[in-house]
Amino acid sequence: MKWLTIPAAVIALASPLTTPPPGGWPIIAWAHGTIGLADQCAYSVAGPGSPQRDWEYLGTWMRQGYAVVATDYAGLGTPGQQPYLNGAVEAANVVDGVTAVTRHFQAVSNKWMVVGQSQGGQAAMFTARLATELGGEELDYRGAVGTSVPAYNEELIAMVGPGFPPMKISTYNTQAVLYILNGLRTSHPDLDIDSYLTAGGHHWFVRAQQTCQRQFHQELAGADVVIGDLLAWPLRDLPEGILRNYLALPETGFDKPVFIGQGLFDTNIITPNTLRYSAVLTAAGQPVSVHTYPTDHSATVNASLVDSVPFVAAAFA
């Protein structure tokens, strides 16, 4: 497995250790999960947040004969802050990465699919909705795989505020709220997100920008941080529609097959919400297939391969 980096586009390409087939290797675009907001956390700098899991996963795709493209999201290793969970931005980043690789390397095909986990699962859904439009005739988009897709975060975030019961939210989700607030401020600087934070909240809000996900999680857990103590005002007081416009996943307009995989013991992503989202897509006639696994958040990535490998092969065929 060898990574080739294109610094200007902040992307990396890993190709199978085989001779390219006629027309080049089809591309798997990897939309990674949450790794942090700081530049030193960027995938092109620090690599996977869960190395053993992710190398096993990405190695499987390469053994199937696909080239893997991993793109940094905007604000990771580049100027500015990351607009965390801004799906339209993530989709543009993924498509730009695929475009750059196809222009720089003759050994790859213009046929491609996106796969992603957690934050990357959300990015995969937005990419699936926008890929044909963003890639134009230059790229041949075939479909998407999203695992641990975070759905209806806009409803969950709106419930958080001062005095929020401390036993009702995990450290992982406290971290996610702080990341989302950072993303909102980056995408909508006019919102004055800082005014929604207590002094303690501002400390952890800034700390979220300075550390990588694993360290930040450990710091929050060690300090026994309670999300209700971080907020001066309930987040439902944000301007009407802002959370939905920022966080809501697309529910229509998918033009290629979409695979959603969800672990039934996932306590990071709200499993009933992901299943609800899957049902909404199915009811709307979208080309979605849904698979569940007796796994937690992280283990779903590789558990899903038994179904996603044939799904991807069929989409490329």
Least confident of 112-116, 162-166, 298-302: 162-166
Average pLDDT of the chain to the nearest whole number = 93
Q: Which among 257, 277, 258, 269 is positioned nearest to 299, based on CA atoms?
A: 269
pLDDT of residue 48: 86
Q: Which among 304, 301, 243, 305 is positioned nearest to 119, based on CA atoms?
A: 301
Question: Is 280 exposed, middle or buried (CB count within 10 Å of its CB: 0-12, 13-18, 19+)?
Answer: middle
Least confident of 48-57, 241-250, 272-281: 48-57
The residues near 144 (Cβ < 8 Å, ≥ 6 apart) are 113, 114, 115, 116, 124, 125, 127, 128, 131, 256, 257, 258, 259
Tell me, what amino acid is at 208?
Answer: A
Q: Please give the CATH number for the structural domain made up of 2-152+249-316.
A: 3.40.50.1820
- Alpha helix positions (H), 142-229: 153-158, 171-187, 199-210, 213-222
10-23: average pLDDT = 79
70-75: average pLDDT = 91
225-237: average pLDDT = 95
Q: Residue ranges per domain, the chain?
A: 2-152+249-316, 153-245
DSSP secondary structure letters along 21-45: PTT-EEEEEEE----BSSGGG-HHH
Give the C-alpha separation, 33 to 43, whole Å. 10
pLDDT of residue 99: 93
Question: Is 195 exposed, middle or buried (CB count within 10 Å of its CB: 0-12, 13-18, 19+)?
Answer: exposed
Digit-coded pLDDT (tens) for 193-210: 999 999 999 999 999 999
90 token code pair:
């993530």
User: 105 with 51: CB under 8 angstroms?
Assistant: no
Q: Reply yes or no on whether the pLDDT at 58 is more than 90.
A: yes
159-188: average pLDDT = 90
Coil/strand/helix, residue 234: coil
> Checking phi first, is residue 10 left (phi over 0); if not, alpha (psi -120 to 50) or beta?
left
